[in-house]
Chains A and B, each alone.
Chain A
Amino acid sequence: EIVLTQSPGALSLSPGERVTLSCRASQTISHNYLAWYQHKPGQAPRLLIYNVSNRATGIPDRFSGSGSGTDFTLTISRLGPEDFAVYYCQQYGSSPATFGQGTKVEIK
């Protein structure tokens, strides 16, 4: 199965800052089948991005995704107070679908 490695594991930032999260795959992800989720404690995970760069319904345009092959990025252009959470990448180009271990974005 494809292993996804996210970096960094955690980072502390201030509201308004730009953040770039990385997701690296152990093999090429076919069809660009890569998604990103936001997860806050006690809440349902929320789909942000699918197929590498498509924003899900209702997701603000400060969230963007890019990449191809084995290297992918989620960028938040300006952190809002509601954006402090854990972010996961997921590949669904190969079965079984797998997730990265997550990046925690904390308030500095």
Chain B
Amino acid sequence: EVQLVESGGGLIQPGGSLRLSCAASGFSFDAYAMHWVRQRPGKGLEWVSGINWSGGATGSADSVKGRFTISRDDAKNSLYLQMNSLRVEDTASYYCAKGIWNGDYVARYFDSWGQGALVTVSS
């Protein structure tokens, strides 16, 4: 059974940094593209960032480009999102999502998701 478990969320002041982690199990993590998707309070879903199966290519939404960095550690079956220069509008639940086998960083459909990590940016 595929499991994705996010951690690292919390309350942070504007301008601060936070690192989210996603522990994956139940599938060959190193063969799949992985992504982060967020949901702001009262809003719909928004793709944030993706990384290809090998970790050699990444992409991000314009709203976070230059501030957020996605990475992966296949030895630890883990996905990360380093979030810098956080803004109030980055307040959201952040979901780790499994992409396509042998896929690139461009988002396709997501066949498994974690339960999310809440990030609150407030002074």
Number of A-B contacts (CB under 8 A): 58
A35 & B109 in contact (Cβ 8 Å cutoff): yes
**Shortest Cβ distance from A100 into B: residue:** B44
B110 & A98 in contact (Cβ 8 Å cutoff): no
A92 & B46 in contact (Cβ 8 Å cutoff): no
B115 & A44 in contact (Cβ 8 Å cutoff): yes
- How far apart sit A43 and B64, CA to CA, in the bound complex (Å)? 25
Interface residues on A, range: 20 to 34
Query: Contact flags (1/0) for B86-122 with A, using CB distance below 8 Å?
Result: 0000000001000000000011111111111000000
A44 & B109 in contact (Cβ 8 Å cutoff): no
B side interface size, CB within 8 A: 21
Q: Is the interface of A mostly helix, strand, loop or mixed?
A: loop
A97 and B108 contact, Cβ closer than 8 Å, known pairs A42-B115, A44-B115: yes
Near A by CB (< 8 A), chain B positions 38-53 give 43-47
**Which chain A positions have C-beta within 8 A of B24?**
none
A44 and B44 contact, Cβ closer than 8 Å, known pairs A97-B107, A97-B108: no
Which residue numbers of B lie inside 8 Å of A, CB to CB?
4, 43-47, 59, 61-62, 95, 106-116
